[in-house]
Amino acid sequence: MSGEKKTWMRQPIIVVLGHVDHGKTTLLDKIRGTAVARKEPGEITQHVGASVVPASVLKKLAEPLRKYFPKLVIEIPGLLFIDTPGHELFSNLRKRGGSVADMAILVVDIIEGFQPQTVEAINILKEKKVPFVVAANKIDRIEGWKPHADTPFLESIRDQSPRTLSLLEEKIYGLVGKLYEHGFEAERFDRVRDFRRTVAIVPISAKTGEGIPELLALIAGLSQQFMKKRLVTSEEPAKGVVLEVKEEPGLGTTIDVIIYDGVLRRNDVFVVAGRNGPIVTRVRSLLMPRPLQDMRMHEGRFINVDLVTAATGVKVAAPGLEDALAGSPFYVVPSDDKVEEYKRITQEEVSQIRFRAESDGVVLKADTLGTLEALIEAMRRENIPVKLADVGHVTRNDVIEASVVKKSKPEYGVILSFNVKVLPEAEELIAKEGIPVFKHNVIYQLLEEYFKWYREFKEQEKTRIMESLVRPGKIRVIPGAVFRRSEPAIVGVEVLGGRIKPNYPLMTSDGRSIGTVMQIRDRDNVLKEAIVGQQVAISIKGKVMVGRHIDEGDILYTDIPRDHVRLWLTTFNSELSDDEKLVLKEIISIKRKSDPLYGMVFTA
């Protein structure tokens, strides 16, 4: 023994994301099918929760591409694809400051183009700093496309009509434009000069298999070129992430783990996060899917193995995993004296995701650490504070938290629940306190529902505040239209600018206050307001006598309070009409004579 630890380059871990129905599942099926059909005898392609495309298959697929990419040599042992596509599972591949996924394929239906979940995927990938390629899927649906099963894209296009090719180009440029809007330079893969700066778009058909060789070769090429360091692993204690927690007949609660670093052995002691704190336990068995050809009725779906090496997807059976949380880090403890240290590391990591803050904010409940973290991050993007974030069903206590928030910040006094139940004990209180609860098992739809409600709430609140403000108004007392001299004075007025409403305070053109508008009438009709150009009769509340305080022909203005004028000049400025803005200017210059700071807006 030299004492040197064995090191090797592991398979990059790849995820598939994209909008619903854009072809993620079909693509993964195609990739799996390709791997099985072309693998060497004895090569294992099936892991738990993942599938491998071995190097031998990548080499075969890359062979016909040699004339286009002569330098392509496969050095990695293969590609590990996470079997379940989509954002929910991706979010469980969480790792502090990033993702366990090394690279992503963003599937976009070339006919439909960008959709909401495409944008969501891009945001998540950006945030997690996961590089990606775009698979522009369903090219076989482009008008006039002649399919060539399982052929490289660059071969297939040689047999397409000029019209079909120009339709394809148009679609690809549509995607290039969309990606640009989201901050990415993009180009069809064979035209990319610098893959570090440009996102490659590979036109494919998950149905016919066209473009799949290029897609796989490209991912292999990019990962071995740009993430060599990240892919080197050694005989260290394993590190991984819990993808799913599953009940298995005869095995109890098991965890499906993606190991991205090191070696995991039977009997290893490991730590994962549990509902009630870190769980320390020992591997009882490591299980891999039984190869299809050895499936026998009386045997289980899994085979026992002594050890697994990164990168791999493996099922771990161990005592005490009932409370384990999906999305949790998985650490093998290197030695007995390190147990406390690893518990602390795990706990620290989880406390970033499960927390209760003192400030007002929304309540988030989700089924796994990963989806909970995805919700927290989405809230951060929108600058919405979080009061409480936790894994588990919605309880009475959650409702109490939300109802306290509701009292001071009603826009945050809500509960967002992802893929968990609202317990009956909570239901009653929800109804009583009138707490809005948003539920959905698609993350972006859950967020959309809340954000829509939030925007509407803010809009209503804005309207409510605006309704309470005194608007600019300028009127003239019509000569010969004094109907009553005092208590209350009733005069005919013409609105020269802006508007008046009942309860608006009035002032003269030299800033003297003269009561408030009591009622506005147009003959027998009582009006809610009178706007520029209207002639109406108004009664004035307060000690106002025509002939003493005001006269026929006088110009009067609405007497806008200081804090109202500030809002008109800032938040609500765009809500004023042009004539209201002119009147506001006049009011400000009148008021400044006695109050020099009136209508001053100070910015920090």
Q: Which residues bind ligand GDP (CB under 6 A)?
A: 18, 20-26, 85, 137-138, 140-141, 205-207
Q: How far is the CB of 85 from ligand GDP (least distance, A)?
A: 6
Q: Is 20 annotated as a binding residue?
A: yes
25 is in an annotated binding site: yes
Task: Report the C-alpha gap between 223 and 266 in whole angstroms.
Answer: 30
DSSP 152: -
Say if residue 19 carries a ligand binding annotation: yes
DSSP run (H or E) holding 448: helix 443-467
137 is in an annotated binding site: yes
In the bound complex, what is the minimum distance in angstroms from residue 358's beta carbon to ligand GDP? Answer: 41
Q: Is residue 395 within 8 Å of 425, Cβ to Cβ?
A: yes
Cα gap 109→171, rounded to integer Å: 10
Beta-bridge mates of residue 99: 94
Nearer Cβ to ligand GDP (74/134)? 134
Nearer Cβ to ligand GDP, position 23 or 515? 23
594 contact partners, CB below 8 Å, separation of at least 6: 511
Closer to ligand GDP by CB, 144 or 553: give it: 144
Using the minimum distance from each CB to ligand GDP, give the nearer residue, 138 or 343. Answer: 138
419/87 Cα distance (integer angstroms) = 13
Q: Taking Cα atoms as reference points, which of 337, 319, 414, 310 lies closest to residue 6?
A: 310
What is the Cα–Cα distance from 307 to 314, expressed in whole angstroms? 10
Name the minimum Å distance from CB 362 to ligand GDP.
29
Report the C-alpha gap between 134 and 19 in whole angstroms.
Answer: 12
| Residue in 381, 382, 450, 385 with CA at minimum distance from that of residue 415 | 450
Which residue, 26 or 486, is less far from ligand GDP as judged by CB?
26
Residue 213: CB partners within 8 Å, gap ≥ 6?
A: 61, 62, 64, 65, 150, 151, 152
Whether 87 sits among the annotated catalytic residues: the reply is: yes
439 is in an annotated binding site: no
Q: What is the spatial distance between Cα 378 and Cα 573, in angstroms, rounded to a whole number?
A: 31
Q: How far is CA 14 from CA 51, 73, 84, 201, 409, in A?
A: 10, 19, 11, 16, 42
Q: Which of 87, 148, 549, 564 is catalytic?
A: 87
User: Pairing state of beta strands 437-440 and 415-418?
Assistant: parallel
Q: How far is the CB of 129 from ligand GDP (least distance, A)?
A: 24
53/105 with CB nearer ligand GDP = 105
Written in H, E and C, the secondary structure of 22-47 is CCHHHHHHHHHHHHHHHCCCCCCCEC
Smallest distance, ligand GDP to C-beta of residue 29, A:
8
In a 10 Å sphere around its CB, with 0-12 CB exposed, 13-18 middle and 19+ buried, how is residue 594 labelled? exposed
User: Does 113 count as an annotated binding residue?
Assistant: no
Specify the 3-state DSSP secondary structure of 325.
Answer: coil
18 assigned binding-site residue: yes
Is 209 within any annotated ligand binding site?
Answer: no
Q: Residues within the annotated binding site for GTP?
A: 18-25, 83-87, 137-140
**Which of the residues are catalytic?**
87
Q: Residues within the annotated binding site?
A: 18-25, 83-87, 137-140
